[in-house]
Structure 1
Amino acid sequence: MGSQTVAKPRLTTSAMIASIASEGQRTEAAPFGHALVAAAERDARIVGMTADLSKYTDLHIFAKAFPERYRQMGMAEQLLMAAAGGMAKEGLIPFATTYAVFATRRAYDFIHQVIAEENLNVKICAALPGLTTGYGPSHQATDDLALMRAIPGLTVIDPCDALDTAQAVAAMAAHQGPVYMRLLRGKVPMLLDQYDYQFELGKAKLLRDGKDVLIISSGIMTMRALEVAEAMSDGSAEVAVLHVPTIKPLDEATIIEQCRRSGRLVVVAENHSTIGGLGEAIALALLKARVHPAFEQIALPDAFLDAGALPTLHDRYGISTETMVASIRRWLA
C-alpha cells in the first residue's frame, strides 16, 4: 500500500492584527486599553495619544472612556512624539501609541532629543514588536530594542502576556521618566497568572526551575520558553525559565546569580534581531562578571525577514516552540 500525503491546512495571516495565541490558549482582549483606562481613573494627568492607530493599538478603549483626554495626531509620528513631550512639560502623563517600526525608525530623533534628553514623563507604547506581523520588513520591528536601548535614560519593557502588559501599564504610570514598551494588543495570551507573577520594573522573575537548561527570555518568547519547558518535561531535560520583562535597566544581579549555577546550558530567547537586544546585553553582563556558562541564542537573524503567515515565519526563523525544542536538543547533544 502506498503512503498517503496528508495536506496541511493553508496558513493565512491578517498581518496587522494577527494573534500570537496558540489554538485553544486562554486570551484576554485589549489588556493595554483596559489597563490604561484603570490608570487614568486613578490619575487625571494621564492622556492618550496616537498616530491614526487607535483601533490597532487598543487605544480606542481609552478614547471611548475619556474622549476629552484623547488626542488623534494623524499619520505624523514625529508630531506625535513632539506633542507628547510638550504635554509632559505641562505636567501631563502622555501615553503615545503607534507601531514599533514607526516609533523607533520614523520618530527616533524626536524621542531622543525632545523626550529623552529632557527626561520627560512620556510613555511610548509600540505595537507589532519583532516578528508579530506577516507584512514584511516595513512593519516588522526586529531592531527596536537595539535602537531604544541606546537612548540614555529610557526605560525599555517587553511584556510577555496580558497580565504582564496590564501590570506594566500601572508601573509605567507610577514611574517618573520616559518609557518605551513593546505593546501586545488584540486577543493577548494569558499565562503568567499560573505562576503567582507580579511585574516589577527592573526585575527578572524565575517562573520555573530546572537543572539542565536555563532559558532567559522576554516578551512572547517567555510564552514559548514555558511551552518548551513543558514539551521537554518528558524526560528530555529539566528546563528553567527566567523572564526578563525589563530590558533596560537590566536585572543583572538576578541573571548572573542564575547563570552561576554549574552544569546548565544558558539559552537567551528573544523576538528580536541577534544584534543589540537582550542576548547581547546578557552576554556583556556575564562577561563583565566573569561568569562563563555554555551559552546559546535564539533570536531573529540579522536580515530583512520575509512576509507571510506567522506560524510559517516563526518556524522559518527558529522562534516557534517546535524549532526551539529541536535547537536545544541539538545543543544538549
Structure 2
Amino acid sequence: MELDKIEEKDLKMGKANQEVFSETMQALAETDRNIIAVTSDSRGSGKLVPFGQKYPNQIVEVGIAEQNLVGVASGLASAGKKVFAISPACFLSARALEQIKNDVCYSDNPVTLVGISSGVSYGALGTTHHSLHDYAVLRAINNITIVAPADNFETEQAVRLAAEHDKPIYMRFGKKAMPFLDENNKRFEFGKGRLVREGNDLAIIASGETVYPAWLAAKKLEDEHGIKTAVVSMHTIKPLDVKLLEDLASNERPIITVEEHMVNGGLGEACASHLFQKGFRNPFKIVGIPDEYTVTGSQVEIFNHYGISKEGLYEIGKKLLKI
C-alpha cells in the first residue's frame, strides 16, 4: 500500500516540507541580510541551491563537519545573525551533540538547528542514516525547543517564527510531499498543538509526517464504524502542549501517539509520563519504531511494517475501543 500518494480527494497536495523550508528562507533573506544558512555539504539535499544562488553572501559551507557546523553557527548567532544550521538529522543530532549542548543550548545562542531527511526518510540507506534518536537526546538537554512540522503550512510558520525566536530550536523535515491537513485551522505557535480533525471517541496525537496516516486512520474509523477521532499535530515535542494533552484525556477516551522515532524517549513517552503523573489512566498506546534492528526499505515500507499507516492505526484504534 502506497501511503505517499494522496488517498483523499478533500486533501490538497503540497510539496515536501524541505522545499517549503528553502522557499521560506529565500523569502526571509530577501528583506533581512542577517538571515544566514550554514550547511555541511548539504545545500543540495537541503534544497538550498536556489538560496545560495540568490544570496551567496548569506550562506556558509563548512563541508562534512557537523561539529564545525554547529560551532560556526553559534559564533554567527552570538554576533547577532539569524542562523539556520542545516544538516541531515541523523548526523546533526549525533556527531554534533556536544556542540549542540554546550555551544548552542548552554551558551544560549539562538541557532535554529535544521535536521533534514529526518526519521527514516533515507529509507534503504538503513540505520546509519535514520534519525530515530533525536527527540530523545535533545529532550534531555535544557533550553531547546523541538519542532516537527506536519505539513507545508506548519513548515512555513515554523521557519518564520524561528527567524524571530531568541532561543535555540531544533526543527526536522522529511523528503516526501505532504498534503495540507486542515486549511481551516490556521493557528500555529510553538508549544501549542494543532487540532486537524475533531472527535470525542478516540484521540491520535502525532508529529511530523506521521500526522497524515493518523488522519487517514481517523477517517476510516468514522466511515466504517462511526467513531469520531480527534487528530492532533503535536508539532512541538518540547515544550509539550500539556493543556491540550490533558483536555484530550479528560473524557477518558483512549489515546494513541504516533511518531517517526524510536518508542523510547520521544513524543509517546513524553505524553504518557505527563498524563500518568497527573493521575490520568486512559487506555494508551505508543506507536513508533520499536527497540530493535530497523527493517530495511523505503519510508513507506518501514511505516507499513511498524503500523504507522492508515490500516495499522485503524486496527490499533479498534483494539483500544474494543470493537
- TM class, shorter-length: over 0.9
Structure-to-structure mapping, 1:1-333, within 5 angstroms: 21-23=4-6, 26-28=13-15, 30-134=19-123, 135-185=125-175, 188-236=177-225, 237-262=227-252, 264-333=253-322
Larger Rg: 1
Q: Residues 187-230 of structure 1, C-alpha deviation per residue, up to 9 Å, x if partnerless?
A: 53131353323321111122222122111111111111111111
SS of structure 1 residue aligned to 2:243: helix
Is contact 1:59–1:97 with CA below 8 Å preserved after alignment?
no
Is contact 1:211–1:239 with CA below 8 Å preserved after alignment?
yes
More moved, 104-113 vs 290-299: 290-299
More moved, 323-332 vs 277-286: 323-332
SS of structure 1 residue aligned to 2:162: helix
Shift of 1:288: 2.2
Per the normalisation by structure 1, the TM-score is 0.90
Is contact 1:164–1:199 with CA below 8 Å preserved after alignment?
yes
Paired-residue identity, %: 31
SS of structure 2 residue aligned to 1:124: strand
Shift of 1:42: 3.5
Is contact 2:144–2:168 with CA below 8 Å preserved after alignment?
yes
Shift of 1:179: 0.5
More moved, 171-180 vs 60-69: 60-69
Per the normalisation by structure 2, the TM-score is 0.92
Q: Which amino acid aligns with 1:292?
A: R
Tell me how far apart the structure 2 counterparts of residues 305 and 291 of structure 1 sit (CA, whole Å).
Answer: 32
Is contact 2:269–2:286 with CA below 8 Å preserved after alignment?
no
Shift of 1:78: 0.6
Tell me how far apart the structure 2 counterparts of residues 63 and 246 of structure 1 sit (CA, whole Å).
Answer: 29
Tell me how far apart the structure 1 counterparts of residues 49 and 273 of structure 2 sit (CA, whole Å).
Answer: 40
Unaligned runs of 5+ in 1: 1-7, 12-19
Is contact 1:32–1:184 with CA below 8 Å preserved after alignment?
no
Q: Which amino acid aligns with 2:177?
A: V
Tell me how far apart the structure 2 counterparts of residues 155 and 74 of structure 1 sit (CA, whole Å).
Answer: 26
Is contact 1:165–1:184 with CA below 8 Å preserved after alignment?
no
Q: Residues 264-290 of structure 1, C-alpha deviation per residue, up to 9 Å, x if partnerless?
A: 111111111110001111111112221
Is contact 2:119–2:174 with CA below 8 Å preserved after alignment?
no
Is contact 1:163–1:190 with CA below 8 Å preserved after alignment?
no
More moved, 285-294 vs 269-278: 285-294
Q: Which amino acid aligns with 2:248?
A: Q
Distance change >3 Å, CA 42–CA 291, structure 1 → 2: farther
SS of structure 2 residue aligned to 1:228: helix
Query: What stretches of structure 1 move > 4 A for 4+ residues in a row?
Result: none
Q: Cα RMSD (Å) of the superposition?
A: 1.8
Shift of 1:50: 0.6
Tell me how far apart the structure 2 counterparts of residues 45 and 292 of structure 1 sit (CA, whole Å).
Answer: 48
SS of structure 2 residue aligned to 1:256: helix
Tell me how far apart the structure 2 counterparts of residues 322 and 192 of structure 1 sit (CA, whole Å).
Answer: 18
Q: Which amino acid aligns with 2:313?
A: M
